[in-house]
Chain A
Amino acid sequence: MIDPAIEGMELSTIRFPVERGKLAELARALHEEDPAWHDSGAATAAGFAQLPVPPTVTALVDHWRAGGPLADVTAIGIDARRLLHGEAAWEYLAPVRVGDELTAVARVAGVSRREGRRGGAMTFVTIETEFTNQHAEPVVRRRDTLIETEAA
């Protein structure tokens, strides 16, 4: 059961690097064949001044969360076994580049409860994360809606 008082709660602040090795792994995991995702030579040949990054690159923050990727979820009282990811939204403010050091600041933006279609109550938690680069420039704003389904 999630306490509605978590609304406004500040979650972890995480500083993490955007590394070429992780970009290569991410491209491979997403079934991308184009070497321009991780090879500087191929990226230059395609007309990029620097390696491009995929739209979901900020997911890399999860590797750097103290206590593991689910630490924030656990901190706000969500039972990970009943956790569903409802929505994710990214707003791109400035380019993210390999070599960047990003800082992610997350907060609980909203909590609500709704009756599910099968009768059980579901709790919706909205988390907003702002990513800034090493020049203190905001680069990505991300909003996630997490859903905790009714206990079985």
Chain B
Amino acid sequence: MTLPAAPVALAAGDEMPTEAVGPLTRTDFVRYAGAGGDFNPLHHDDELARAAGRPSVFGMGMLHAGMLGTRLARWVGPDNVRSYTVRFTGQVWPGDVLSLDGRVDAVEPGEGLPVARLSLTVTRQTGEVVLRATASAAVAAT
């Protein structure tokens, strides 16, 4: 799927193409640290994470929020996203396979183009939802 430059036509009930990412490794966490600048040692130093009572290092929220964000952008077009709000509800661990999902709740009239209200989730292979998001995006008039 190519990245859409123009607003796309969406209707209530439409679903984002589902994608699975993983199994995630410590290297994925370190790569995001280098890219995004989050060097909190809880995300790369196992010894420190265990001393802080965690079973191991875990992924930074901005890693899976970022992954979901780019899938959202690939669905509606990066220039058409108007807002994106994420709530972190769980943690992502080494070995996890994440499912990235989204759907259109409603399409409403906007200033100019219509605006789609979207709900999105990141879910671990266990079924645990680790992130719930809402977003709005300008979409093509139908």
Contacts and interface: CB of A to CB of B under 8 A. Distances in A.
Q: Do A and B bind each other?
A: yes
Interface of A: 22, 25-32, 34, 36-37, 43, 46-48, 52-56, 59-63, 65, 68-70, 80-92, 95, 152
Secondary structure of the A contact surface, majority rule: mixed
Contacts of A48: 3, 5, 79
Interface stretch (B8-16, B34-42, B103-111, B121-129): B34-42
Interface residues of B, number: 42
A69 B40 contact: yes
B35 A88 contact: no
A84 to B, nearest CB: 7
A34 B74 contact: yes
B81 A29 contact: no
B79 to A, nearest CB: 6
Interface string B53-76: 100000011110111011011100
A86 B87 contact: yes
B3 A26 contact: no
